[in-house]
Chains A and B, each alone.
Chain A
């Protein structure tokens, strides 16, 4: 299904679709078809971007980091709306989080515990970011999650 079929009409060019029954010249037809095609292409690429988990994840991560990097409260950091939306992405976020952790260890433990219900971190490792990161990366490898570059 194309975006136009899904919406029912062209969102930015309603009139273009409703001149079909009116007698028009070939040039107008060509202009209309090319205009429709390019707009559809443009809107589809936005739609694909918004539904791409990796794009969504990195947009949310960027917002979350910008607004919480100066905080110490794990609770405040983890309750940030963008972080909660990452948790809301569910299992699809796990390989993205693990890949991010591998390169930039950070506060992903709350999200991983919430999504997976697992905790590979030993009590004596709590708060030790490097050791906790290694524990989760080992867990991810055992579970067969791919890591992205």
Chain B
């Protein structure tokens, strides 16, 4: 079988927190979405386990030129090959347009299993999987933390509103994995060096059978406007612990003032 893993480039977590003139700085370091490393690891484990024969693990990504670095990181973590949908026309795509573009890119690969991360660190939609699945006409489940793979079926566990669900799903399928599913390995130095040389298949929207009216701002029906800061909340007090008794004394005094110790 062929497994495709959706991987995304996101601003590095450390950078994301930085405010410049009161605005989030989204420039600077960019990296592979940390949640996607769990999807890659799961694909590699399925391949290694050998219960089903995995011919290939292919990373699929949509993003600007700079995403190449995140894609190489995915390769260093064990994917065999990568496809990069890299086209100015997709800039500004909303969730639905992003999902359509990814689905069209995936169609060319005819995967038996599509894996993705539980959320993108910057977008936090948790929904790309559901969009992709509907376009590909495949069954789908998100937030899966345990997956038992047999020829033709997946037995998946995930937490939903009322507790844990166990769902049996035939392949081909689209599964987003929660970060509890595995502990991703670190790439070896050899894998990191090797990833630099692997070919990455770069595609434009016409290669995947889309035109500019279907993606990007033109293809997006949710229109985003003027972001404003939320109403300010009184800043909390911060204690930097110096490993002295003072920290605890201050906490107790704070609690006591609010009558939380009576």
B partners with A: no
Q: What is the interface of chain B, defined by CB distance below 8 A to chain A?
A: none
Q: What is the interface of chain A, defined by CB distance below 8 A to chain B?
A: none
